[in-house]
Amino acid sequence: MSKFASIVLLLLLFSLVRAESPPKLDDAIDEALIAIKMRERDLSVVSLLSDPFRLSLVDSLMDRPLAMPRTLDSLAVFFTNSDKNPVEILSYAAKLLDLEPTTPVVKSSNDDYPWEGQRDIPVRLRNALDVIFAAFEQAEIDFDAAFADVDSFQMDTLITWGVNYLIREDGSDIDEENDDATLEELDDAELESEIMTERLFEISSKIDRTRLADGALIVLKAAVAACEKVEGLTAQGNSQSEVPDTIAAGDVVFWCETERGPVIIGGPGRTIYNARFAAIIDLGGNDIYTVAAGGADTTISFAVCIDLSGDDLYVSDKDFAFGSGGLGVGILIDHKGRDTYRSGDFALASGSYGAGILIDGAGDDEYFGDIGGQGAGFMGFGILIDKSGHDSYSARLYSQGFGYVAGFGMLSDLEGNDSYLAKGAYVDRLRYADHHLSLSQGFGYGNRPDWSGGIGLLLDAAGNDNYSADIFGQGASYWLAFGGLWDAVGNDIYTGYQYCQGAATHLCAAIFYDKDGQDSYISHGVSQGCGHDLAVGYLLDCGSDDDNYTIWDLSQGAGNANGVGVFIDDGGDDGYINKKEYNVQGYGNWRRDFGSVGIMLDISGSDHYSGKGRDSSWWGSGRYGIGIDFPAVLPEEED
């Protein structure tokens, strides 16, 4: 056989193998790009707009959309690593906000506190309180420096209008709005609020957010150190403090007043806490917290709560109640127990001009919130970490991994079969009178058109989970922000209505990444890997399990108004159901004198389609829309 004939035979064999064997993910993407005569660089979306809160991560992912899966996976693996110290997690979050925090070192305090002379209190308890209050002293210095360029009148604006900005509509809570208001009336109210909004963000740009992060890190480090000191400790002796019922009731070992707020130690029995405390250490029992636990606000700037065990009830209608900080730092660490959290606005792992951290160690827990919680950050950090158990999360708006302007919000659940619900606060008047905004479950949000958004992440490392949102959610974003939902393993169900499941809207980046499991996806439209208006949306489902996807239109790899939408299912015998055919499954339209890009890839398996897709085939839509179900051989280009 001649050398030429041998080469031809090898090429033929290679082409046959290639036609029958599923390609690697990167190779499949390359084939799709070649088919529409594009390169990876052509998917770049660059914004020339600038403001003080733009994040380099957002710019990077808009510039290189195909890097989103690797980026989110890297972040998720780090944040869900049970060996990572909470201080490491917060420090990394600060760096994602382009801050350069210093390594926290808690220095000894020279102050004498009331517990120093209480010899009937175990030394480990006294030392734990010493560490916490020493950190408060250092954090106060950091916060004073952070707001050094903000005068008293401007600070009043932050206090009265800033910390709860997200629920205000011209000074009124969303809950108090007139549901019968016309669009014109709402527009007038919005115009009236624009002046105050402009003032608020101009003031916010003067804040040294690195010093805010430094203050949060030092308090968190002290809280973790205090936990280590008291872990396994039980009360000694029968001494109990006399305490007013307005402060607490039940098993109280010690309490006192300090300049920074009340301090209390609860014993191994049930304790009922009826006030906001600077520090709580509870040694056990099925306790009840009726106001706040590790909740910092304008009355108590720094707060730490450590609960060692028990099936506890956290119930409050106060803002910044549990592991939350408004213009301060709040830390709540509950080691174990089957706990229930019921709260109002900004009350569970919420940070607004500060930081809120809630860490629940073990147990099947229930989280009920309203607006701005369960991992929500605005001008700061909101981080909720649940380490184990079958947990239930319910909120109405701006929750479950929500990042607003200069904010990092994350919900990280490490184990268990979990349920996530986010809907019901605010009717989406502009689109659907019978649906509500969610803006949750891994959602990054900016203030269009002037202020870039933050980072919102929902990370679930294990279990068969159920996710439900309405409009805007589940690995989505809006206006120069980044949102991501990452689920590592399990047979999951995802339900949304619009702008969900890897949808990016208006100059932003978003990704939905499910790594393994037999999953079901349901949404109405502008979902499942959709980029709208110079935005990049991505949905990636990996693993060899059989998945099902149901949509109405403009989804499953759809680019609209110069957006980029990417949808990839990496394996399994999958099913695709859609109502409309023309703008789904690899769709790109023509806008502003250039195109939108839509890519849909199913890399292996025997699949079923109700839309334009076909098993083992390829199809196109417009100039820059492409769908490929592998194994499929692209036709040769005509001369």
For residue 15, pLDDT over 60 is answered with no
Over residues 531-550, the pLDDT tens digits come to: 999 999 999 999 999 999 99
Q: Considering the chain, what percentage of its residues have pLDDT values greater than 90?
A: 82
Predicted pLDDT of residue 635: 54
Least confident of 8-17, 125-134, 254-263, 361-370: 8-17
For residue 5, pLDDT over 80 is answered with no
Residue type, 209: R
Q: Average pLDDT for residues 453-457, to the nearest whole number?
A: 99
Predicted pLDDT of residue 411: 99
The tally of CA atoms less than 13 A away on the side-chain side of residue 552 is 10
pLDDT band at 180 (very low <50, low <70, confident <90, very high): low
Contacts of 417 (CB under 8 A, 6+ apart): 390, 463, 464, 465, 490
Predicted pLDDT of residue 418: 99
The residue among 495, 506, 531, 502 whose CA lies nearest residue 452 is 506
The residue among 301, 344, 304, 345 whose CA lies nearest residue 323 is 304
Q: What are the residue boundaries of the structural domains of the chain, listed by start?
A: 1-80+435-639, 88-97+114-149+207-413
Rounded CA gap, 14 and 151, in Å? 71
Residue 131: which H helix or E strand, with range?
helix 123-146
Token pair in block for residue 85: 């110290």
Q: Average pLDDT for residues 37-60, to the nearest whole number?
A: 94
Predicted pLDDT of residue 7: 30
Residue with tokens 């680019």: 559
Contacts of 390 (CB under 8 A, 6+ apart): 364, 416, 417, 418, 463
| Contact predicate 311/339, CB 8 Å | yes
| Contact predicate 427/179, CB 8 Å | yes
CB atoms within 10 A of CB 231: 12
For residue 4, pLDDT over 70 is answered with no
| Contact predicate 624/595, CB 8 Å | yes
Predicted pLDDT of residue 550: 98
Predicted pLDDT of residue 13: 40
Predicted pLDDT of residue 633: 65
Predicted pLDDT of residue 18: 46
Rounded CA gap, 381 and 409, in Å? 6
Predicted pLDDT of residue 201: 97
Q: Average pLDDT for residues 443-472, to the nearest whole number?
A: 98
Mean pLDDT over each residue of the chain, to the nearest integer: 92
Over residues 561-599, the pLDDT tens digits come to: 999 999 999 999 999 999 999 899 999 998 887 889 999
pLDDT band at 139 (very low <50, low <70, confident <90, very high): very high
For residue 425, pLDDT over 80 is answered with yes
Predicted pLDDT of residue 638: 52
For residue 237, pLDDT over 60 is answered with no
Q: Average pLDDT for residues 401-423, to the nearest whole number?
A: 99
Q: If 0-12 CB within 10 Å is exposed, 13-18 middle and 19+ buried, where does residue 72 land?
A: buried
Least confident of 52-56, 165-169, 210-214, 292-296: 165-169
Predicted pLDDT of residue 204: 98
Q: Average pLDDT for residues 172-184, to the nearest whole number?
A: 55
For residue 174, pLDDT over 90 is answered with no
For residue 239, pLDDT over 60 is answered with no
Cis bond before residue 631 (omega within 30° of 0):
yes
Q: Average pLDDT for residues 126-141, to the nearest whole number?
A: 98
Q: What are phi and psi of 273, to 5 degrees?
A: -105, 120
Token pair in block for residue 218: 């030092």
| Contact predicate 133/279, CB 8 Å | yes
